Amino acid sequence: DQQVKQNSPSLSVQEGRISILNCDYTNSMFDYFLWYKKYPAEGPTFLISISSIKDKNEDGRFTVFLNKSAKHLSLHIVPSQPGDSAVYFCAAGFTGGGNKLTFGTGTQLKVEL
């Protein structure tokens, strides 16, 4: 049973437009969430995180929104750039969980010229 779900395996967006990547979770104990980005032949790299005490966290072109009642979070990238083309993983953890992360299956983002 997957506790973190990314239901869209792929997403294609035009350069300059907004990319919205979605993630749903089932475990109510999760209280922090992270997004990782992965290029081919590289390991995932940390992008942005959010604690459950917030509903939004922004870092440059990247914003993560958290809707606790819906157990849903999303990553917005504005404006999208070709270099953003990568696989994006959503991950979740909980206080007392020993910093262990539960990952989603990832969404392949392609930003087209």
Partner 1 sequence: ETGVTQTPRHLVMGMTNKKSLKCEQHLGHNAMYWYKQSAKKPLELMFVYNFKEQTENNSVPSRFSPECPNSSHLFLHLHTLQPEDSALYLCASSQDTQDRGRGTEAFFGQGTRLTVV
Among 69, 70, 100, 113, binds partner 1 (CB under 8 A): 100
Given the rule CB under 8 A, which of 20-28, 46-54, 58-66, 70-78 is the region that contacts partner 1?
46-54
Q: Which C-beta is closer to partner 1: that of 83 or that of 100?
A: 100
Residue 51 sits in the site that holds partner 1 (CB under 8 A): yes
What is the size of the binding site for partner 1 (CB under 8 A)?
31
Among 10, 12, 26, 45, binds partner 1 (CB under 8 A): 45
How many C-beta atoms surround the C-beta of residue 82 within 10 A? 10
CA-CA distance, 112 to 91, in Å (whole number)? 26
CA-CA distance, 104 to 111, in Å (whole number)? 21
Q: What is the CA radius of gyration of the chain?
A: 13
HSE (CB half, 13 Å, CA atoms) of 33? 33
Q: How far is CA 41 from CA 11, 20, 38, 44, 86, in A?
A: 20, 24, 8, 10, 11
Q: Which C-beta is closer to partner 1: that of 14 or that of 51?
A: 51
Least Å distance between CB 113 and partner 1? 28
Positions in the binding site for partner 1 (CB under 8 A): 2, 4, 31-34, 36, 41-46, 49, 51, 89, 91, 93-106
